[in-house]
Every structure is written in structure tokens, then in C-alpha cells.
């Protein structure tokens, strides 16, 4: 029997981000502003848990339905589920949806109420991300039952041959007893054969399942010719994903965060160019030497986001300012992290302020992380600009590097996937703001687990990308 003890969750990076599978999205469904959290299943087919907070008390009904992302099945949508409002908080709705196949999905939310009706869609990657072996308690229940069933089967066969055909009151003679023993021996062989074949079948099913467990694209990074970052991707094979099916997100095929180890005191946000399928290159900007961890966000044609990761040793590079959309910053080493600090100094006397809620920060709870740029007099900064079409970018990184999430003001879903979901142009709102971008930016996100995190927040002001860095302890 393939009964393995202990729960072993394979440390497999999740497609979108690393170790942070939940989807957070803030947006408008018509007149209603929603904060949507989707907790996808770890095994597919499985059930996704949906949480929606509506900023407006006028909403009356919240309907949710799963659809394939970018597919033609919108016209074939099933009957929507009605998300249920919380008794304690009627503006907080919950529901659950089945995601039946691995790949790229969307959850469509339809809201109706006193202000009219509205709709938005949130992309969700549905991915089997774990291999579960049998827990000790479950094995302790099933093994004795299996044993009783096997022994019971053998004994029933023996009893039927020994006594089943005896007239009432008769006792079995030696011949029947002997036949009974033969029959029990035969039944033992049958039971053993059934267990053996069952085990083969189980292994076959487990092998079939393993093919569907997400296998991330592998990344190998090197610095060549002194400052040329070479990123070589290789596909271990998983479903129909490939290296040549990437689509641009904010005009770039890859968004790469490069963070120096182990102190996380230097960060670069880069955008390597794809030279051919599976090969990205980038001339590195100025950089202190050291070992860096790389987190590269890419999006496949079907809207499936993926984060590739590796480590690379880099030499000191000087005299090269970041160009284009590339940017970077620095922070105090982790060893000197101040977990109470909410102000981060920027250039020219400016500063970034984290409007941090009262501690503690709790894992698994969706919230808005608000940051404000102030001038040296403490006034909201002017001259704010869009950075790659967004009011800001944030990276939430676990100090043990088990978590990485690149989040936008709209949430953790990439813009390319949001476009495929059929939402209105996700940049439209920001473009409308372009004339007057506020000095405050917020990011919907929830920490996946307890631990210490470093948050890199980037906004653009007066043609310059500013990077604020904050540290956060998170509790369960």
C-alpha cells in the first residue's frame, strides 16, 4: 500500500509570485469599488475561496462565476453563485467556486444594488502546486480498516465454503473444513492480488497527477563580459506552456527584481530583452558586487503569470545609470532593519511614509498597503507620474526568500492577464489620473504566512523613480 506518513508539501514555487498564491485585486465594478481576494486551490480540480469587500453599502447582490481566461466560453457560463454577505459585516461577501482544470481562469463578479449594476473579472491561475502524502492520522484510520476488510473477505469465503451449504443444524465435516482452508488460501491470493493491482493503479494515478503539478520554468543567470546579465530559461515541461509564448506586461516581456543577498540592501527593477525564446539579456546598471537573488515575472499567452527565480554573482559595476523603465534603490541591511520604521528618506529631502495600520500585521488578511510621498515640509509631493502606466509598483519579499510578490495598485494580477479577462483597459484609470497623479498609492495584498518581510515600493516623481523600503513583521 502506498501509505506514506507525514504531510510533505513540496516546496514548489507558485506560478504567479513565489509562495504567495492568493490573488488580490482592487477595482471598480461599475459604481462599486471592490477589494477581491481569491484563494485558489492547491490541487486542481479544486475549490477556490472568494472574499469580496465592497466599499459601498448600496450593493445588494454579489454574483461570482468562473470562466476560462481568454477563452470563448463566456457565452457558455454556468449559473453564477451568489456570494453571501457576512452577518457581522454586510459589506464583506464570501463564496467558493470550482476550478475544474489547470491553467488560466478568471472569476467574474457581477454586482447589483441601489447604484445600478457593474462587473469586473479577476484572473486566477489554477495550478496544482503540491504533492500530498497520507497523514499519519488518516493512515491510522485506513490501514486497520483495510486490514479488517482483507481478513474479513478471506474469512467470509472460508465460512461460505465450510458452512454456507450445510442444512440448518449441521456441522461441517473434515472435507468441508479442508475445502474451506483451500478457499481461504485462494481468497488470500485474490486479496493480495487486489492489493497489488490496486497499488499499481494508485501509483499510476499519482504519476498521472504529478504530470499536472506545476513545474516552474527554470532560470539560470550569469554575468558575462563584466556587466551583461544573461538569463537562460529552460522549460521542464508542464501542460502546454512554453518559452516562446510570452506576452508583454507594461510593454516588457520580463520584469526582473534583483535583490542583493543576504542583507537585501540593494534592489534593481530591470527589464531584460528577449533575444530568442528562452534567452533574455540586460546590460546591468551600476551595482555593488555581491550575490543577488533574481525574481523575474513573465506572462504566458493564455494569461498565466509565472515568476522565475535564480541567484547570480555580480561584480561591481559603476558609472551606468538605469535607463528606460529600469530603476533601483538601496536600504539599510536586514541586520539593521527597524520594524517600527514607517518613514523612508528619499532624494532631495523627500520621503515615503507608510500609513501602516496598528500592529500586529496578520498573515492571510487582505488589506491595502498605503504609501504617501511627501516633500521636505511634509506636504503631499507634487509632480507625480505614472511608472510603467501605474501609480506605483511594490514587491513584498520574505526575508527568508520563500515569498515574493510583485503587486500593483490594482492588485497582484498582471495587467496582461487583466486585459485578457476583458476588463476595461486597466491603464485607463491611471491614464486619466496622469494629469494629476496623487501622492498616495495603495496596494491590495495579504501576507501568506507569518515571518519577516521587506517591502520595496516604487513611484515616479519628476522623471525619477523613487524606491522606498520598509520592513514588516507578520504574525499568525
Alpha-helical runs (H) found in 57-164 = 136-163
- C-alpha distances in angstroms, 281 versus 80, 232, 301? 45, 9, 21
Q: Which one of the spans 162-170, 276-284, 368-376, 416-424 is the region binding other proteins (CB under 8 A)?
A: 162-170
Check residue 162 for interaction with other proteins (CB under 8 A): yes
List 64, 67, 233, 331, residue binding other proteins (CB under 8 A): 67
Check residue 81 for interaction with other proteins (CB under 8 A): yes
Question: Maximum distance among all alpha carbons in the chain?
Answer: 106
For residue 454, what is the enclosing H or E element? strand 451-461
Nearer to other proteins, 10 or 275 (CB): 10
Q: Which one of the spans 20-28, 155-163, 297-305, 393-401 is the region binding other proteins (CB under 8 A)?
A: 155-163
Check residue 65 for interaction with other proteins (CB under 8 A): yes
Work out how close the CB of 141 gets to other proteins at its nearest, in angstroms, rounded to a whole number.
6
Work out how close the CB of 344 gets to other proteins at its nearest, in angstroms, rounded to a whole number.
43
Work out how close the CB of 406 gets to other proteins at its nearest, in angstroms, rounded to a whole number.
28
Q: Which one of the spans 30-38, 60-68, 306-314, 344-352 is the region binding other proteins (CB under 8 A)?
A: 60-68
- C-alpha distances in angstroms, 432 versus 93, 354, 427, 471? 30, 25, 9, 32
Work out how close the CB of 185 gets to other proteins at its nearest, in angstroms, rounded to a whole number.
17
Rounded to whole angstroms, how far apart are CA atoms 378 and 441?
A: 16
List 55, 148, 189, 434, residue binding other proteins (CB under 8 A): 148
Alpha-helical runs (H) found in 354-437 = 415-420, 428-433
Check residue 464 for interaction with other proteins (CB under 8 A): no
Q: DSSP letters of 382-398? A: S-EE-BTTBS-EEEEEE
Q: Which one of the spans 50-58, 146-154, 228-236, 263-271 is the region binding other proteins (CB under 8 A)?
A: 146-154
C-alpha atoms less than 13 angstroms from C-alpha of 184 in its C-beta half-sphere: 15
List 8, 55, 140, 156, residue binding other proteins (CB under 8 A): 156
List 55, 138, 343, 462, residue binding other proteins (CB under 8 A): 138
Nearer to other proteins, 44 or 346 (CB): 44
Do residues 97 and 109 touch, judged by C-beta distance below 8 A? no
Rounded to whole angstroms, how far apart are CA atoms 147 and 455?
A: 53
Work out how close the CB of 153 gets to other proteins at its nearest, in angstroms, rounded to a whole number.
7
Alpha-helical runs (H) found in 211-322 = none
Nearer to other proteins, 180 or 282 (CB): 180
Ramachandran angles phi, psi of 348, nearest 5° = 55, 30
Work out how close the CB of 364 gets to other proteins at its nearest, in angstroms, rounded to a whole number.
19
Q: Which one of the spans 128-136, 287-295, 349-357, 395-403 is the region binding other proteins (CB under 8 A)?
A: 128-136
- C-alpha distances in angstroms, 392 versus 16, 149, 194, 369, 407? 19, 62, 60, 12, 9
List 155, 251, 336, 425, residue binding other proteins (CB under 8 A): 155
What separation, in Å, do the N-terminal and C-terminal C-alpha atoms of the chain show? 37
Rounded to whole angstroms, how far apart are CA atoms 280 and 252?
A: 11
Q: Which one of the spans 124-132, 266-274, 319-327, 330-338 is the region binding other proteins (CB under 8 A)?
A: 124-132
Nearer to other proteins, 3 or 363 (CB): 3
List 5, 182, 196, 202, residue binding other proteins (CB under 8 A): 202
List 132, 191, 243, 363, residue binding other proteins (CB under 8 A): 132
Check residue 79 for interaction with other proteins (CB under 8 A): yes
Nearest 5°: the CA angle 130, 131, 136 is: 120
List 55, 166, 277, 431, residue binding other proteins (CB under 8 A): 166
Rounded to whole angstroms, how far apart are CA atoms 471 and 249?
A: 28
Virtual torsion, Cα 407, 386, 356, 24, nearest 10 deg: -30
Burial of 75 (0-12, 13-18, 19+ CB in 10 A): exposed
Nearer to other proteins, 74 or 341 (CB): 74
Check residue 169 for interaction with other proteins (CB under 8 A): yes
**Where along the sequence are the contacts to other proteins (CB under 8 A)?**
41, 43-47, 65-68, 73, 76-79, 81, 98, 100, 128, 131-135, 138, 141-142, 145-146, 148-149, 152-153, 155-156, 158-160, 162-173, 175-176, 198, 201-202, 205-206, 209
Amino acid at each position: 500500500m502506498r501509505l506514506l506518513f507525514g504531510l510533505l508539501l513540496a516546496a514548489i514555487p507558485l506560478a504567479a509570485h513565489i509562495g504567495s498564491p492568493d490573488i488580490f485585486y482592487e477595482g471598480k465594478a461599475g459604481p462599486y469599488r471592490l477589494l477581491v481576494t481569491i484563494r485558489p486551490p492547491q490541487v486542481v480540480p479544486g475549490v477556490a475561496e472568494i472574499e469580496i469587500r465592497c466599499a459601498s453599502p448600496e450593493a445588494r447582490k454579489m454574483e461570482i462565476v468562473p470562466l476560462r481566461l481568454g477563452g470563448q466560453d463566456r457565452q457558455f457560463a454556468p449559473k453564477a453563485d451568489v456570494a453571501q454577505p457576512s452577518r457581522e459585516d454586510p459589506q464583506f461577501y464570501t463564496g467558493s467556486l470550482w476550478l475544474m482544470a489547470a491553467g488560466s481562469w478568471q472569476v467574474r463578479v457581477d454586482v447589483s444594488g441601489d447604484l445600478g449594476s457593474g462587473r469586473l473579472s479577476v484572473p486566477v491561475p489554477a495550478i496544482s502546486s503540491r504533492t500530498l502524502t497520507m497523514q499519519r492520522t488518516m493512515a491510522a484510520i485506513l490501514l486497520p480498516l483495510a486490514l479488517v476488510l482483507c481478513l474479513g473477505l478471506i474469512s467470509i469465503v472460508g465460512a461460505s465454503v465450510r458452512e454456507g451449504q450445510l442444512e440448518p443444524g449441521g456441522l461441517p465435516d473434515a472435507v468441508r473444513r479442508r475445502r474451506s482452508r483451500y478457499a481461504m488460501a485462494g481468497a488470500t491470493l485474490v486479496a493480495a492480488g487486489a492489493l497489488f493491482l490496486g497499488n499499481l493503479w494508485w501509483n499510476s494515478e499519482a504519476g498521472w497527477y504529478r504530470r499536472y503539478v506545476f513545474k516552474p520554468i527554470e532560470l539560470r543567470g550569469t554575468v558575462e563580459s563584466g556587466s551583461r546579465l544573461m538569463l537562460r530559461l529552460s522549460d521542464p515541461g508542464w501542460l502546454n506552456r512554453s518559452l516562446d509564448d510570452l506576452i508583454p506586461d507594461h510593454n516588457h516581456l520580463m520584469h526582473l527584481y534583483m535583490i542583493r543577498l543576504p542583507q537585501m540592501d540593494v534592489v534593481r527593477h530591470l527589464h531584460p530583452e528577449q533575444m530568442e525564446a528562452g534567452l533574455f539579456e540586460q546590460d546591468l546598471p551600476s551595482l555593488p558586487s555581491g550575490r543577488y537573488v533574481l525574481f523575474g515575472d513573465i506572462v504566458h499567452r493564455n494569461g498565466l503569470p509565472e515568476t522565475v527565480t535564480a541567484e547570480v554573482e555580480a561584480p561591481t559595476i559603476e558609472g551606468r545609470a538605469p535607463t528606460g523603465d529600469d530603476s533601483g534603490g538601496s536600504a539599510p541591511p536586514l541586520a539593521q532593519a527597524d520594524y517600527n520604521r514607517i518613514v523612508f528618506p528619499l532624494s532631495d529631502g523627500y520621503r515615503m511614509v507608510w500609513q501602516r495600520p496598528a500592529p500586529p500585521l496578520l498573515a492571510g488578511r487582505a488589506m491595502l498597503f498605503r504609501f504617501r510621498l511627501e516633500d521636505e515640509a511634509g506636504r503631499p509631493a507634487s509632480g507625480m507620474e505614472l511608472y510603467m502606466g501605474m501609480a506605483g509598483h511594490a514587491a513584498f519579499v520574505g526575508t527568508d526568500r520563500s515569498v515574493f510578490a510583485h503587486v500593483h495598485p490594482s492588485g497582484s494580477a498582471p495587467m496582461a492577464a487583466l486585459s485578457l479577462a476583458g476588463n476595461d483597459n486597466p491603464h485607463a484609470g491611471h491614464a486619466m489620473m496622469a494629469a494629476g497623479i496623487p501622492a498616495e498609492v495603495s496596494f491590495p495584498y495579504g501576507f501568506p504566512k507569518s515571518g519577516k518581510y521587506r517591502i520595496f515600493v516604487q513611484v515616479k516623481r519628476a522623471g525619477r523613480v523613487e524606491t522606498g523600503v520598509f520592513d514588516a513583521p507578520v504574525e499568525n
